[in-house]
A and B are shown apart, each in its own frame.
Chain A
Amino acid sequence: MDSIVAAASVVAAALAVGLAAIGPGIGQGSAAGQAVEGIARQPEAEGKIRGTLLLSLAFMEALTIYGLVVALVLLFANPFA
């Protein structure tokens, strides 16, 4: 592999997963905050809120994982190598 391509791929992989973590991080924080607020207001609904929260957190997590998949493709299955 060309060394400049390798360097660019590694930087791009880091950027892909790093940037992809920003949005879901904010989203998960706000979702968890709202869930805590909901539980504080209505403690008897805790089970339902927790289930929904976990499911939606996993959906948000998937967005970072897409970035991670791109990073892994760049590192291990680079089409430009």
Chain B
Amino acid sequence: MYLAEPLNYLSHIHHLPIAELEVGKHFYWQIGNLKLHGQVFLTSWFVIGVLIIAAFLASRRSDRIPSGIQNFMEYALEFIRDLARGQIGEKEYRPWVPFVGTLFLFIFVSNWSGALVPWKLVEIPGGELAAPTSDINTTVALALLTSLAYFYAGFRKKGLGYFGNYVQPVPFMLPFKIIEDFTKPLSLSFRLFGNILADELVVAVLVLLVPLFVPLPVMALGLFTSAIQALIFATLAAAYIGEAMEDHGEGHEEH
């Protein structure tokens, strides 16, 4: 994303050490000609680490009667499976559970890590640590992966007959369907990015005004909307995949 010189009096408000507001400032890593946003990588690795450790602990000693973390992870798996089955359909949902589940878990843990982990206590040379999903590049990557996934699903199921979807149910839908292929990743990525960034900004602004207690309800609301956004992203990804694979002439709920 193109970042010009920010309005400097707006992008750098800090009276308190914990209540800083920095938007559009990044901790750059230079690799060859590429400039990477280092803070996003650090927090993403943290999220991935949390997920891997949780999965490892849950599956290390699996019992017939699950308890503790195994029970919890099985509950999560069942939740994701039901989500995928509801959107993709009984017959074909099984191979897509890992994809939808990865999206959901990564986004969910990312969003909550932004709200629950005290990242502001960690000093880095530029920018600040925050939820990885509050960076547009992360959400665009996830949304483009979703696009690839539904094209792959459609072509694998129907081959070139997938293009038949574009003229269903009436041929003049063709331009709209083509535009839809672009607006799907656009709206997916902007929805997630905007919601998470808005949550973090609202909390940061409130902390700036009243540092104690007053931001708590807003933080709770932020946790709630973050969870809903993860659910929405996963549901929509599954719905798009299901839509790409559905048979002609069969009505399917549009989102």
Contact = CB atoms under 8 A, between A and B. Distances in A.
Interface of A: 1, 6, 9, 54-55, 58-59, 61-62, 65-66, 68-69, 72, 75-81
Contacts of A65: 190-191, 194-195, 198
Interface string B1-39: 111111100110000000000011000000000000000
Contacts of A54: 228
B2 A77 contact: yes
Nearest to B188: A62
Query: Which applies to chain A's interface (DSSP): helix, strand, loop or mixed?
Result: helix
Contacts of A6: 7
A81 B194 contact: no
A78 B193 CA distance: 18
A69 B190 contact: yes
B229 interface: yes
15 contacts: A1-B5, A55-B232, A59-B255, A62-B190, A65-B198, A66-B191, A69-B190, A69-B194, A72-B194, A75-B7, A76-B7, A76-B23, A77-B4, A79-B2, A81-B7
A62 B234 CA distance: 15
Given A76-B10, A78-B6, 17 more contacts: A59-B232, A61-B225, A62-B190, A62-B194, A62-B195, A65-B190, A66-B190, A66-B194, A69-B190, A75-B7, A75-B10, A75-B23, A76-B6, A77-B2, A77-B3, A81-B5, A81-B6
B187 interface: yes
B195 A77 contact: no
B235 interface: yes
Given A76-B10, A77-B24, A58 B225 contact: yes
Contacts of A75: 6-7, 10-11, 23
